[in-house]
Chains A and B, each alone.
Chain A
Amino acid sequence: MKSDMGLIVKTTARATIPLIGIFGAYVVSHGHLTPGGGFQGGATIAGAGILFLIAFGFGEMRKRYDHHIYSALEGLGGLVFLGMAMLGLGVAFFYNTLWHSGPFFDGQPGTLLSAGYLPIMNLAVGLKVFAGLISAMVAIAAYRRWKE
């Protein structure tokens, strides 16, 4: 299947997609320190996927997209979020036991490894949002082709 974007767009996309992905990972992992967080970072990384879909066409996307893997990743994101919420169930639901008496993620406030379960929850939400948005975009792009 021929993609109809020109050479300039494809080359720019090759340079820009890693940049957007790394910046989205930065937004997700620094969600407890800077603006942004799980949803914003996940939507930014999904923007890289949408750029791939636009620049290289649907045929290239279908070769690299596996529905089962993305579905499993989305479920895994939700399960990790729920598992972090259940971690301090001895006190209360959503009790931040990693911050109060945890083995890790209990550093000085303002550093990267602080704030208890918040970085892990941000990673889980980012993974879930990224997988969900990419699945939705590919499903919409494939809609007319489902008849044949």
Chain B
Amino acid sequence: MIAPEFFYAAVIVMIGAFLALLRVFFGPSVPDRVVGVDTLNTLIVAGMVLLGAAYDRTIYIDIAIVYALLSYVGTLAIAKYLQGGLR
């Protein structure tokens, strides 16, 4: 059973993700691109949850949780590198 309203919400989230991707492409400085990627991570987590609801599969939420936890680690690694590296 597929619920269409969750698909519409996922499409809206996808439009927002494309806008964040524009910032990643055209960002003049590196922190702009990092913030764009971080926004993209959050929107992808929202899209995963919405698609899990749309396909009516509870186990898809697990992947969203793992992605949310590991994208935090990735953003932190880039931030630490920009701050001066591992000392």
Contacts and interface: CB of A to CB of B under 8 A. Distances in A.
Contact of B87 (A16, A40, A44, A58): A58
Contacts of B73: 47, 50-51, 54
A4 B83 contact: yes
Nearest to B70: A47
A92 interface: no
B62 A27 contact: yes
B64 to A, nearest CB: 11
A60 to B, nearest CB: 11
Given A23-B69, A34-B59, A36-B62, A9 B86 contact: no
B2 interface: no
Nearest to B84: A4
Interface residues of A, number: 25
A44 B66 contact: yes
Interface string A47-62: 1001101110110000
Contacts of A50: 73, 77
A138 to B, nearest CB: 11
A40 to B, nearest CB: 8
A4 B83 CA distance: 9
B87 A57 contact: yes
B65 A23 contact: yes
Interface of A: 1-5, 9, 16, 19-20, 23, 27, 34-36, 40, 44, 47, 50-51, 53-55, 57-58, 141
5 contacts: A2-B87, A4-B83, A4-B84, A23-B65, A27-B62
